[in-house]
């Protein structure tokens, strides 16, 4: 593994190895602290968009492993504006051992990888969010003890998070069911690519009816209806998405012990109710914590 750009690029065994390593590093941390395997290593965290989880979990993950993380806010390097993406990649490569970037255009992640001589980690683009999906499958694995044969139902926008979950599900042997409003589906190309990764007979179901999507699900997952960068579409989306809210009535159609997940930040009262977000099926906050453990596995694999 040279970079961490998309779950699509990981062999199923590599994905599994990252989950195992996340588990090991989480236990080690809980038992008193991680060994400083990244002592003397540094990473630049480049953000074109806001972040709580991605920024803090990568930064603290690096600190726990003995390394150093440098946060570069959207106003600092103005990647692609003040300076071209290839030049940013070439310059940062001379200073740090790795770069994590959160960008608008996925093309910028690909350019960073092309022009940098150090590993690039995708911290979310308009196309995908692989660090999120890795942490999410780690969370499901912790709670359910396995991944093969489970059913994950994603309800909401066919967006970056949904795409990474589709890929991670197929590579893990997890059935993936998705309900979106018409016009907000994952593309036919996404579904075809996902299908090509299917392990252990994992199937994809697509729906417009959320109740059909969550029937018998082991995991219900949602995300905001309007992603960062789509703010001007917010009013239109708010008209279409309310039937896709994760509320107790919808949760009751899944398995009684289903996990409810959300990458966060949540717009409570829109895509998820307080009752569900704070209810017995919710794993929202263990899921958020697991971002750090999963990312440590990526950092350790790429930088140690």
Of residues 7 and 161, the one with the C-beta less far from ligand NVA: 161
Residue 129 among the catalytic residues: yes
CB of 112 to ligand CP, least distance (A): 18
Of residues 97 and 190, the one with the C-beta less far from ligand NVA: 190
Q: Which of 185, 223, 270, 271 forms a contact with ligand NVA (CB under 6 A)?
A: 223
Beta bridge partner(s), residue 268: 272
Q: Fill in the DSSP letter of residue 260.
A: E
- Does the footprint of ligand NVA cover residue 228 (CB under 6 A)? yes
Measured over the CA atoms of residue 34, residue 35, residue 40 and residue 43, the dihedral's sign is: negative
Per-residue mark of binding to ligand NVA, 115-134 (x: CB under 6 A): ---------x----------
Q: Is 208 left (phi over 0), alpha (psi -120 to 50) or beta?
A: alpha
Residue 258 among the catalytic residues: no
Residue 82 among the catalytic residues: no
User: Torsion angle of alpha carbons 230, 231, 237, 239, nearest 10°?
Assistant: -170
- Does the footprint of ligand NVA cover residue 93 (CB under 6 A)? no
Selecting among 3, 55, 64, 102, the annotated active-site residue is 102
Closest CA to 258 of 140, 132, 136, 137: 140
Q: Is 279 left (phi over 0), alpha (psi -120 to 50) or beta?
A: beta
Number of Cβ within 10 Å of residue 146's Cβ equals 11
Residue 291 among the catalytic residues: yes
- Does the footprint of ligand NVA cover residue 224 (CB under 6 A)? yes
CB of 125 closer than 8 Å to CB of 160: yes
- Region from 1-9, 188-196, 219-227, 283-291 binding ligand NVA, contact rule CB under 6 A: 219-227
Instruction: Report the alpha-carbon distance of residue 207 to residue 116 in Å, rounded.
Output: 40
Instruction: Report the alpha-carbon distance of residue 138 to residue 134 in Å, rounded.
Output: 6
Q: How many residues bind ligand NVA (CB under 6 A)?
A: 9
Residue 245 among the catalytic residues: no
Kindly list the strands in the beta sheet with 219-222, ordered across the sheet, starting from the edge strand earlier in the chain. 204-207, 175-179, 151-155, 219-222, 259-262
Of residues 215 and 264, the one with the C-beta less far from ligand CP: 264
- Region from 189-197, 205-213, 223-231, 254-262 binding ligand NVA, contact rule CB under 6 A: 223-231
Judged by the rule CB under 6 A, the positions of this chain that interact with ligand CP are 51-54, 124, 132, 263-265
Strands (E), the chain: 42-47, 68-72, 98-102, 120-122, 151-155, 175-179, 204-207, 219-222, 259-262
Of residues 172 and 287, the one with the C-beta less far from ligand NVA: 287
CB of 263 to ligand CP, least distance (A): 4
Beta bridge partner(s), residue 260: 220, 282
* Cα 289 to Cα 219, 236, 241, 292, distances in angstroms: 18, 33, 28, 6
223 binds, among ligand NVA, ligand CP, none (CB under 5 to 8 A by kind): ligand NVA
Per-residue mark of binding to ligand NVA, 141-160 (x: CB under 6 A): ------------------xx
- Does the footprint of ligand NVA cover residue 270 (CB under 6 A)? no
Q: Which of 161, 202, 251, 254 forms a contact with ligand NVA (CB under 6 A)?
A: 161
Binding site for ligand NVA (CB under 6 A): 124, 159-161, 223-224, 227-228, 263
Return the active site residues: 102, 129, 132, 223, 263, 291
């Amino acid at each position: 593994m040279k970079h961490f750009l998309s779950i699509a690029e990981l062999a199923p065994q590599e994905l599994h190895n990252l989950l195992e390593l996340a588990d090991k590093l989480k236990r080690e941390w809980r038992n008193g602290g991680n060994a400083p395997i990244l002592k003397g290593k540094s990473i630049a965290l480049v953000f074109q968009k806001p972040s709580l989880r991605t920024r803090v979990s990568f930064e603290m993950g690096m600190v726990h492993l003995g390394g150093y993380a440098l946060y570069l806010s959207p106003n600092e390097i103005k990647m692609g504006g003040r300076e071209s993406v290839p030049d940013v990649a070439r310059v940062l490569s001379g200073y740090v051992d790795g770069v994590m970037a959160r960008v608008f255009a996925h093309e910028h992640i690909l350019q960073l990888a092309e022009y940098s001589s150090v590993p690039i980690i995708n911290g979310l683009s308009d196309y995908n969010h692989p660090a999120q999906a890795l942490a999410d499958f780690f969370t499901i694995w912790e709670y359910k003890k396995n991944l093969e044969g489970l059913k994950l139902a994603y309800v909401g926008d066919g967006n970056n998070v949904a795409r990474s979950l589709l890929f991670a599900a197929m590579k893990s042997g997890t059935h993936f069911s998705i309900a979106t409003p018409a016009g907000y589906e994952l593309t036919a190309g996404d579904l075809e690519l996902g299908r090509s990764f299917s392990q252990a007979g994992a199937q994809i179901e697509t729906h417009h009816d959320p109740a059909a999507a969550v029937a018998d699900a082991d995991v219900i997952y949602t995300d905001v209806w309007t992603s960062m960068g789509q703010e001007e579409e917010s009013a239109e989306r708010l008209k279409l998405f309310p039937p896709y809210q994760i509320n107790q009535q919808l949760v009751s159609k899944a398995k009684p012990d289903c996990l409810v997940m959300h990458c966060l930040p949540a717009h409570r009262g829109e895509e998820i109710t307080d009752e569900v977000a704070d209810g017995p099926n919710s794993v929202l906050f263990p899921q958020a914590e697991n971002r750090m453990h999963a990312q440590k596995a990526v950092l350790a694999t790429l930088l140690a």
